[in-house]
Structure 1
């Protein structure tokens, strides 16, 4: 039965990484689910207050990284809050409209449309901002992937 427990825990960790590409999947919930199921299946004894403090700080970094990298990517290319919001909405909607490629096309088009409609930017500038949103998204995925890997590595060190 122990093998089944580990398969479930590791599956939750894998799903948390899928959430990096499909933001509708709540990565944090699956990570925490893996930690909690370990406690239920085996023992909560290894999880002292310091473990939860470190994991909590890393979760805060996960949320912050998502917003900050997107904002930096858009603003570096001349975007505004409208571009950031358009990119974020495109990131959430894109994968449903265009499976797989929507994760890149969504934020790109969202930022362009927001800048053109809200701020009346010319198309060339808006495309540049859209490109910045894609760079922000890719940077976010990499950053969050590293943070999640650190959380899981720390989990295995503790147990």
Structure 2
């Protein structure tokens, strides 16, 4: 059962890291879930109040930062709420519509369409699209870094 537990935990860590850039996968929640599965399948002993407090705070920070950093990218390049909404929709739909490049083109196209719908000029809409892509990349970097911290803290606590 211990080997099975470790396989599941590592698999969830991998899914979580891939989910940091591919929004369809659960990302941080897969990593957080891995801790619970470790407890159920292997042992709750290494975990205490401070472990759960630290990990839960990181999860909250990631969830807030994910939206905030992406939105800041759009805003910095002159985008409106329509661009933020369009970018988010594009980020979710893009990978399905354009499998190879949808993860990048989806937010860009979504932000541009959002701006065009509210009557923004093409130039400003394209700028918002660039901001959405840069915001997505910045958000991904933040998520990857914080999720790595979660995994490192887990291994420190377990070993």
TM-score surpassing 0.5? yes
Specify every segment of 5 or more residues in structure 1 that has no aligned partner in the other structure, as ranges. none
Q: Give the TM-score normalised by the residue count of structure 2.
A: 0.95
Deviation for aligned residue 1:33? 2.0
The alignment covers a number of residue pairs equal to 158
Q: Give the TM-score normalised by the residue count of structure 1.
A: 0.95
Deviation for aligned residue 1:64? 1.1
RMSD between superposed Cα atoms in Å:
1.0
Matched, 1:115 2:126: no
- Displaced runs of 4+ in structure 1, greater than 3 A? none
Match of 1:146 in 2: 145
CA distance in 2, matches of 1:122, 1:29: 39
Q: C-alpha deviations, 1:57-107, integer Å up to 9, x for none?
A: 000111111111111100001011111111011001101111131000000
Q: In structure 2, the residue corresponding to 1:37 is in which secondary structure?
A: helix
Deviation for aligned residue 1:30? 1.0
CA contact (8 A) 2:9 2:34 kept: yes
Match of 2:136 in 1: 137
Specify every segment of 5 or more residues in structure 2 that has no aligned partner in the other structure, as ranges. none
Deviation for aligned residue 1:24? 1.5
CA distance in 1, matches of 2:4, 2:149: 24
CA distance in 2, matches of 1:115, 1:5: 48
